[in-house]
Amino acid sequence: METDKQILARANKWLEGNFDEETKDQVRNLIANDPDGLTDAFYRDLEFGTGGLRGIMGAGTNRMNKYTVGMATQGLANYLKKTYSREHELRIVIAYDSRNNSKLFAKTAAEVLSANHIRVFLFEELRPTPLLSFAVRELNCQSGIVITASHNPKEYNGYKVYWKDGGQLVAPHDKNIIAEVLQIESVEDVKWKGDRALIEHVGKNIDDIYVERVKSLALSPDARASQKDMKIVYTPIHGTGITLVPRCLAEFGFEKVSVVQEQAVPDGNFPTVISPNPEEATALNLALLQAKKLDADLVLATDPDADRVGVAVKDHHGEFVLLNGNQTASVLTYYLLSKWKENGKLTGKEYIVKTIVTSELLKDIAVKNDVHCYDVLTGFKYIAETIHSHEGIKTFIGGGEESYGYLVGDFVRDKDAVIACCMIAEAAAWAASRGKSFFELLIEMYAEFGLYKEKLKSVTLKGKEGAEQIKAMMVNYRNTPPAKIAGQPIVEIRDYLLSKTINLKNETEKKITLPKSDVIQFFLADGSKITVRPSGTEPKIKFYFGVKALLANKEAFDKVNEQLDQKVEQIIQSLGV
């Protein structure tokens, strides 16, 4: 294809500007040999979104590299200095994961911040994202940065910003920081020469404090003691979980934790998996092989920055099955609320939080226990914001989202796979102490509350054309929604961008009070729920399907489960996705 003149001009600026020779060589190679790659690398600036940066690594304005990281950091530094102009000292903590260039980007950010007279606490080695969230408050910082692209493929890296409450950026700081970053038009606007005297390394001291706090969450000492030999297989999938998950499981008293050695070494190339995402079944292949060999009771797999965890257990037929995020969140919620009630800790001021695309089963469990359930937009930052807004008024027990992210307790303000691994293991021990497997506990819940079945389908549309296609699909769903889906009439539409709920049965509208977001939900006459939203971090449009049926008894599980699978497939076919 012919390269656009504007794109070529943007690329030539990098050849003429103050960039290192390695970067210039990459640009020259794109110009000479890869017009498509050149277009994608320079057709826009890498967007600093409400959570920070995320993109493919390489040279270019639309790529993750030390220059785009430096420019973003300068914008953040400018905002911090304006916001906290009366503070005697500005403090920020930085962590990074196992991805290629993560350490380089972390050091780059530290240099730029210290050049701006901001004290930096830099983790000396890779650490999980939730530890960064914890450290922001523990070290009394105004902000934090973690270099990670979470569960994205190996080509990606990212840059997430946290505020002084330990949560990811929310209004008004998210938009204000974006505005400051947009003011940085050139690498010449960045203060690159750091002040080493303002950079302090942290590590084991923070680990130790965090581990003690994780131990304080435990609810069932007797169950853990009686099930200390429960066999657990754990894989960090070449990520940061190896630094803390085995240690914390041992601190919880579990003595038979078997780590998947082939995936125990941090490696940004993720050589044993196609994608380091525990939501994808193939990422757990090695762990499942090891679990079958050992006849394990529980399989745990964390993503590269250890904020998400995938779970596998034996089903009622004795076969290993992967649980989806809704199932894990539901069992964890059921366990937490059961134990809080049993331990006499419920006072009427407790609550849980879930996202709007997460199973309604969590809300049913909360209602049954007289615990309030808050619904928030997709993204754990909104769960953190809810915790912050209720601080000192109500007690947060736990929260979760269908995308394998969970949190127990409020000393971390982001999803935490280290905590989740420990509490899931404790829930499994509790079930076993009552003569049940983890999966049998799940079926028992379905018999009590109804069998909820959820499925996520993502459609990947890459590049500039893909982004335009996704935008057009959302406009179409918004302006000309279908009257029926899989033969079932749509009775309600919730449009979070227009902030309104439309009841099609009585033709009324109601305002949605959550922040605006490009999300549409369709509720069908039979109780099914379909949610459509573009991903905020990947070139995907996501479809969430939720259906439900009564489960008369545990013996009927297989039949009803199959019927719901068929129902979901009918909805998918009806939408043509």
- Asked whether the predicted pLDDT for residue 450 surpasses 90, the reply is yes
**Cα-based distances in Å from 53 to 230, 277, 334, 548:** 41, 19, 35, 37
Which member of 150, 220, 403, 528 is catalytic?
A: 150
Q: Please, are residues 429 and 226 in contact by the beta-carbon 8 Å criterion? A: yes
- Asked whether the predicted pLDDT for residue 10 surpasses 50, the reply is yes
Mean of pLDDT values over 514-527: 93
DSSP H/E element including 456 = strand 451-460
Q: Tell me how far apart the alpha carbons of residues 335 and 436 are, in angstroms, rounded to a whole number.
A: 13
Cβ contacts of residue 567 below 8 Å, gap of 6+? 453, 486, 528, 547
**Cα-based distances in Å from 296 to 277, 320, 329:** 22, 9, 21
At 127, the pLDDT band (50, 70, 90 cuts) reads very high
pLDDT of residue 3: 63
Q: Tell me how far apart the alpha carbons of residues 311 and 302 are, in angstroms, rounded to a whole number.
A: 9
3-state secondary structure of 61: coil
Q: Tell me how far apart the alpha carbons of residues 476 and 474 are, in angstroms, rounded to a whole number.
A: 5
Q: Tell me how far apart the alpha carbons of residues 142 and 144 are, in angstroms, rounded to a whole number.
A: 7
pLDDT above 70 covers a percentage of the chain that reads 99
Radius of gyration of the chain (CA): 24
- Asked whether the predicted pLDDT for residue 313 surpasses 50, the reply is yes
**Cα-based distances in Å from 474 to 179, 181, 189, 336, 519:** 26, 28, 37, 37, 8
pLDDT of residue 279: 93
Listing DSSP states for 483-542 in one string gives: SEETTEEEEEEEETTTTEEEETTTTEEEE--SPP-S-EEEEETTS-EEEEEE-SSSSEEE
At 78, the pLDDT band (50, 70, 90 cuts) reads very high
pLDDT of residue 171: 87
Mean of pLDDT values over 341-353: 97
Residue 150 bears catalytic tag: yes
Q: Please, are residues 15 and 28 in contact by the beta-carbon 8 Å criterion? A: yes
Q: Which of 114-123, 409-418, 451-460 has the lowest mean pLDDT?
A: 451-460
What are the structure tokens assigned to 337, written together? Answer: 């609320």
- CA-CA-CA-CA dihedral for 43, 49, 55, 57, to nearest 10: 90
Mean of pLDDT values over 446-472: 92
Block residue for tokens 């209602």: 367
pLDDT above 90 covers a percentage of the chain that reads 92
Q: Please, are residues 571 and 485 in contact by the beta-carbon 8 Å criterion? A: yes
Mean of pLDDT values over 477-489: 94
Q: Which amino acid, 387?
A: I
Listing DSSP states for 294-362 in one string gives: HT-SEEEEE-TTSS-EEEEEE-TTS-EEEEPHHHHHHHHHHHHHHHHHHTT---S-EEEEEETTS-THH
At 295, the pLDDT band (50, 70, 90 cuts) reads very high
Domains of the chain in start order, with CATH, are 44-202 (3.40.120.10), 210-449 (3.40.120.10), 452-575 (3.30.310)
- Asked whether the predicted pLDDT for residue 2 surpasses 60, the reply is no
Average pLDDT score over the chain: 95
Q: Tell me how far apart the alpha carbons of residues 506 and 444 are, in angstroms, rounded to a whole number.
A: 37
Mean of pLDDT values over 515-534: 94
pLDDT of residue 1: 47
Q: Give the length of the chain.
A: 577
Q: Are strands 451-460 and 405-408 parallel, antiparallel or unpaired?
A: unpaired
Listing DSSP states for 384-431 in one string gives: HHHHHHTTTTSEEEEEEETTTEEEESSSS-S--HHHHHHHHHHHHHHH
3-state secondary structure of 183: coil
DSSP H/E element including 202 = strand 199-202
- Asked whether the predicted pLDDT for residue 537 surpasses 80, the reply is no
pLDDT of residue 536: 74
Greater model confidence, 576 or 310: 310
Mean of pLDDT values over 204-212: 97
Cβ contacts of residue 407 below 8 Å, gap of 6+? 380, 383, 398, 399, 400, 414, 415, 416, 419, 420
